[in-house]
Amino acid sequence: MRGLNTVIVLCFLLAAVGATAQFDEMPGMTDGCTTILVTSGATADGSLMVTHSDDNELMDQRIVYVPAKDHEPGSQRPVYCSACAMGEFKEYNSFSYPRLVAPERAPGYDTPEYAEYIPLGYIPQVPHTYAYIDGSYGIINEHQVMIGECTDAAKIQPKPEPGKRIFYSSELSRVALERCITAREAVELMGELIDEYGYYGTGETLLVGDPSDGWVFEMCGDDIEGVGGLWVAKRVPDGELFVAANEFRIREVITDDPENMLYSENLFSSAEAHGWWKPSDGPLDWLETVSLGEYNHPYYSLRRVWRVLSLAAPSLELDPWVEDGYTKTFPFSVKPDESLTVRDVMALHRDHYEGTEFDLSKGLAAGPFGHPNRYYGPYDGSGDVNDPNRKLEGAWERPLSVEYCGFTYVNQGRDWLPDPIGGICWMGMDKPTETCFVPFYCGVTSLPSVYEVCNTDKFDRESAWWAFNFVANWAILKYSYMSKDIVAKRDPIELEELKQVEVNDAKALELYASSPDAAREYLTEYCTNNAEKVVRDWWAFGDELIAKYDDGYVSMPGDRAHEVGYPEWWRDEVGYPGGPVTYEKPE
């Protein structure tokens, strides 16, 4: 991801924990995502929500439907390498695009123009695997199990090695969606897979939910050359909201509450063997024990955590300023002041700190038209905040909505409906602020081709991602104007979709009573038709914006090429008053 396209320093002292970081060669952080879980007791309609912003548009942006399948006894399930973990691994044909070439997995992964991925290993296959929607990580399955993700720094980040370390979070999430019908089952399965088959890559947070239960599952490597891995999972209390943003969020590991906390059997022994923790230290703090804390720059992660918690529960008056990256200022989860709707949660991902002291739409860096994007460059920091040898020339605030976002989704699980009808993935391609979310029921039997097609190297009008990416980029030219146009375009569409979901639920439930297959067919047809229409409308909308804002003008019906110029404050800042207003040479 641009802003985490950084090379982490090989070994540097962490005085706070007296430990040395271990990396296999020099991995770069590739993802910089934000993920949120809102329990059913905290939402307006009683649904449980799991979100994810995939903030790395350099990766594969296709959204792929993986069908359910039956498997012969004795079958083996291949486990593939992921470029999300530490970059590309050519020896396994593992690349940023396509993220997977595996015809046996799904039609969307049958791309004969590319070499098939080489498995890192195999695990025993189960008789039946469930259908799910897939992205860089698994998204939601037909039984309403939902997953969100963000990448974290960790002290040990080993490379994959067949026979020793074959799992990263991406394949873990997919196996969980293929095999599990509850969030707890998914957490337990992923932990067992790490224990038995090993873990490689960066630290990771996966949020795992079903309609009534939500968990935070965090993991990292254990031995740079050995097997296994370390993991811990904590349940999010019902009625509360949780957020993670590229830093581990689980702290004290409770050993006597298996209903609410699970962890790898080797966690304490490994932490002690590495010199990271000893029993006399008291309870093991997961973040401090296995993590390098924040990376990139101070507040890269914590500012987003503060913002989401503060928007959900402003009554807490949380202070955005903390002592360091290991702060305990922010609670694990909060009870929102008001119950949240699905569009409230979408709005969290659309934020640039508007109305705060960190507002990215204000100031000279935002330009004359208040654009909140900040482009990263070679002058930006790299590595971890705790590296004493690293110097920062400066830093931009890191908001929730970033221009390098590939897609964002808000999953809903609703336990009052049958699984195929209850689960919905609200998918928004490209930057969340400038996207329009569309619903895909988890019971669909296919996805529209415009969502399964995307190569970010080639502009393509047959791709949904490019439609939204184009509008987001064109809006940069005159953002304070075009952002209003985008809101005026997207809000009626999303509100109408929410109304239609109520109609769909009732009709599908009626069909489901006599024919579950008929209900799935009905939902698939709606989702496909709606998504294709939204994409067509968005392309047409982009074309309108080209003409309306051509060459810096604002053109309205009957008022072509209206000259709006620049705001007075910006003109003064950039030297307009000192321009040539006389023939005299300035002194």
Instruction: Please give the average per-residue pLDDT across 571-579, as a whole number.
Output: 94
One-letter amino acid for residue 534 of the chain: V
100: left (phi over 0), alpha (psi -120 to 50) or beta: beta
Q: What is the pLDDT of residue 389?
A: 74
Neighbours of 514 (CB within 10 A): 8
* Phi/psi-derived region of residue 575, left when phi > 0, alpha when psi is between -120 and 50, beta in every other case: left
Per-residue pLDDT band for 385 (boundaries 50, 70, 90) equals confident
pLDDT digits (tens, 9 = 90+) for 495-553: 999 999 999 999 999 999 999 999 999 999 999 999 999 999 999 999 999 999 999 99
Distance CA 357, CA 57 (A): 28
Q: What is the pLDDT of residue 21?
A: 64
Neighbours of 99 (CB within 10 A): 23
- Residue 93 has, within 13 A of its CA and on its CB side, a CA count of 13
Those residues whose C-beta lies under 8 Å from the C-beta of residue 483, and which sit 6 or more positions away, are 370, 433, 434, 475
Q: How many residues belong to the chain? A: 587
| Model confidence pLDDT, tens digit, residues 131-142 | 999 999 999 999
pLDDT, average across residues 259-279: 97
27 has a pLDDT exceeding 70: no
How far apart, in whole angstroms, are the C-alpha atoms of residue 464 and residue 450?
A: 5
Mean per-residue pLDDT, 101-113: 97
pTM attached to this predicted model: 0.95
Write down the domain spans for the chain: 13-366, 417-562
pLDDT tens digits, 165-203: 999 999 999 999 999 999 999 999 999 999 999 999 999
Beta bridge partners of 235: 215
Compute φ and ψ for 148, nearest 5 degrees.
-125, 165
Looking at residue 24, its pLDDT comes to 60
| Token digits of residue 33 | 């995502």
H or E stretch at 171: helix 169-179
**Rounded-to-integer distance, Cα 350 and Cα 347, Å:** 5
Q: d(Cα 586, Cα 579) in Å, to the nearest integer?
A: 10
